[in-house]
Amino acid sequence: MSEQYNTKNAGVRRLMKEAMELRQPTEMYHAQPMEDNLFEWHFTIRGTLGTDFEGGIYHGRIIFPADYPMKPPNLILLTPNGRFELNKKVCLSISGYHPETWLPSWSIRTALLALIGFLPSTPGGALGSLDYPPKERQRLAKLSCEWKCKECGCVMKTALLPITEDGQLKQTEEAKTLAAQLKFQDESVVKKEVEAANNQKNPTETEPSEETSSVPTENVEESEEDADEREEGTTVNVNSSEVPDVAQPAVQPIRDPQPLVFQHHAPRLASTNFDYTLLYKIPVIALCFAIFFTLLARRFLVDNLTSPKDGSEL
């Protein structure tokens, strides 16, 4: 493969080194490039003990951007798992959806461990997430061992080293720590950076940045209705140019006694929030209708009592 690629290119060199690093399967993960493409890899990960994914072995693709490792890889799951949609990019803070939280010093290994750590987390409506009941996830975990990748032909039950208690514990710990370090930042952060980049590009002109910033602001407002307080909070920030760069402290997951359950995902809160808005929306709408009908009725009454012909002009 080395002949195909420009080994002077820093990204190619880096990917080749990572391929060497990950050549041997471990108990928890394995990843190797496709034979014909260094920028597409296939990976296999194991679900952690004590979760709905225990016993499950899952396969997927990693798609690298041309400027990896400056930009994050995209992870796509292929084995049914009940947590992430298949054939869709996984929305992790470490994946391509959140380029601003990716560090070039992270590696494919980091991404895989983070993915293992994220499997048992609560989806909270994140893109590409599924929230299957535990029983279904456990069923899928059992089935996953027989799953075979059509592209690379590897079968899950033989894709990783047999599991030992020790090895799994060590790597699970690492995955947990990693998952705890990572934080979710909502999409408006990216939009704000878009603005910032634009401002920077045109240090003396302000108009272009205003033009582009108006679009992201709209987006945020659209989603505001079914979103939560945090989204509303960031909307304000997007609008105000004076708010400094976002630095969401990663304190939250650390404070959490169980790092694997992400509070950022706010279990089931999105739906309760929606109920709250309905609580005031419905009475307001009802009130509007009441006023409307009252006025309408009055108009007809007035029409009938006074001259019917001039009534329409009142």
Is residue 102 at the binding interface for other proteins, with CB under 8 A as the rule?
A: yes
Please report, to the nearest 10 degrees, the dihedral formed by the alpha carbons of residues 117, 120, 126, 129 taken in order: 110
| Phi/psi at 106 (5° precision) | -80, 165
Is residue 100 at the binding interface for other proteins, with CB under 8 A as the rule?
A: yes
Candidates 55-63, 201-209, 278-286, 302-310: pick the segment binding other proteins (CB under 8 A). 201-209
The answer to whether residue 91 is catalytic is yes
Is residue 248 at the binding interface for other proteins, with CB under 8 A as the rule?
A: yes
Question: Considering only residues 156-175, where is the footprint of other proteins by CB under 8 A?
Answer: none
CB of 48 to other proteins, least distance (A): 21
Q: Which of 22, 25, 124, 147 is nearest to 77 (CA)?
A: 147
In angstroms, rounded to a whole number, what is the distance separating the alpha carbons of residues 46 and 30? Answer: 9
CB of 135 to other proteins, least distance (A): 25
Is residue 69 at the binding interface for other proteins, with CB under 8 A as the rule?
A: yes
Is residue 211 at the binding interface for other proteins, with CB under 8 A as the rule?
A: no
In angstroms, rounded to a whole number, what is the distance separating the alpha carbons of residues 290 and 286? Answer: 6
Is residue 84 at the binding interface for other proteins, with CB under 8 A as the rule?
A: no
Q: What is the largest CA-CA distance in the chain?
A: 95
Contacting residue, 86, 103, 279, 297, with other proteins by CB under 8 A: 103
Beta bridge partners of 57: 46
Is residue 270 at the binding interface for other proteins, with CB under 8 A as the rule?
A: yes
Query: How many angstroms from the chain centroid is the CA of residue 119?
Result: 12
**How many residues belong to the chain?**
314
CB of 64 to other proteins, least distance (A): 12
Is residue 217 at the binding interface for other proteins, with CB under 8 A as the rule?
A: no
Question: Considering only residues 34-63, where is the footprint of other proteins by CB under 8 A?
Answer: none
Is residue 184 at the binding interface for other proteins, with CB under 8 A as the rule?
A: yes
| Phi/psi at 62 (5° precision) | -120, 125
Our CB check for other proteins shows the closer of 59 and 89 to be: 89
Copy the structure tokens of residue 146: 């027989």
